[in-house]
Amino acid sequence: MGVGNCIPAERSGAWAARRENGGRGTGEDGEDVPERLDLKADCANCFGLCCVALPFAKSADFAVDKDAGEPCRNLLADFRCGIHANLREKGFQGCTVFDCFGAGQKVSQGTFGGRDWRRAPEVARQMFQVFPVMRQLHELLRYLDEALALPSAEPVRGEVRRALDDVVRLTGAGPAELLDLDVAAVRGRVNVLLLRASELVRSGVPGRPKSMRGADLIGAKLTGADLRGADLRGAYLIAADLRRADLRSADLIGADLRDADLRGADLTGAVFLTRAQLDSARGDSRTRVPAALGRPAHW
């Protein structure tokens, strides 16, 4: 088995070269552009790590409690999910909106060289501890890749490229080094660049974009709101009414969109929006989303 969709560190220079030579990405105008880094989960090359390493708390998102390191009761012997086609109906909505950004196959096939925790139980504990670390690194790669593609972020492109290469090198480290890594410090350094890229994008929006970073907007009535270029980083938009809202070029990194009503909303050009965020929200055929993300099947 190979490394799946993960990109080895030695290829990081090629990513930058491809961008520098005219490679296209997700622009602020929402044009249909391909992703350059394939940081999608490849479950066929993962040992069900999200179903084992992470804890569940019984709630609206999970039907049962599960401790970290305990295999989910629905995990099959071949590491597939036994109820994958019916997760929402069975009370496991949380599973449908989780995204490891390719960290699962990286840990399974790269960091641990294809040894699975069932046949090699001696690596199980360390593998389960490494997975959340790798997931954070891959999430940073996902955001850095987008920042590198934003035309308005040209002034910081060199710094973003260097940061991306640095994070790629970290993903190639061994288990012990990954567990010793100060992930918070890495996230802090990267966040400075992501914020600068975001500000460059949003500065091109007419008027004075709203700043609602980290705001408690749970259940807020924002129907038809003009949120173009808004700073909604880390905002709590759970069950918010965002029908027909204009979210073009808004920064949605870390925003909680669970059960947010996005019917008819316009999110084209929204920066640092992920498919997992869209999957957790409600939308319809009129909802406009960045072309690179696509429309969730359950909308």
Taking only the tens place, the pLDDT of each residue in 109-135 is 999 999 999 999 999 999 999 999 999
Q: Within 13 Å, how many C-alpha atoms sit on residue 111's CB side?
A: 36
Among the residue ranges 8-22, 69-83, 143-157, 268-282, the one predicted with the least confidence is 8-22
- Which residue blocks in the chain are alpha helix, DSSP H? 12-20, 93-96, 103-105, 124-149, 157-171, 175-180, 183-202, 275-280
Interaxial angle between packed helices 124-149 and 12-20, expressed in degrees from 0 to 180 and rounded to the nearest 10: 10
pLDDT tens for 36-56 read: 567 899 999 999 999 999 999
- SS3 call for 246: strand
pLDDT in tens, 178-217: 999 999 999 999 999 999 999 999 999 988 888 999 999 9
* pLDDT, averaged across the chain: 88
Contact 96, 279 (CB under 8 A): yes
Read off the pLDDT of residues 219-249 as tens digits, 9 standing for 90 and up: 999 999 999 999 999 999 999 999 999 999 9
pLDDT at 31 over 70: no
Beta-bridge partner residues of 226: 246
Look at residue 27 in the predicted model and tell me its pLDDT. Answer: 46
CA distance 72 to 190: 33
What is the average per-residue pLDDT within 147-170? 96
Tell me the domains of the chain and their CATH numbers.
Answer: 9-46+100-202 (no CATH), 209-299 (2.160.20.80)
Distance separating alpha carbons of residues 217 and 78, to the nearest angstrom? 42
Evaluate if residue 80 carries a pLDDT over 80.
Answer: yes
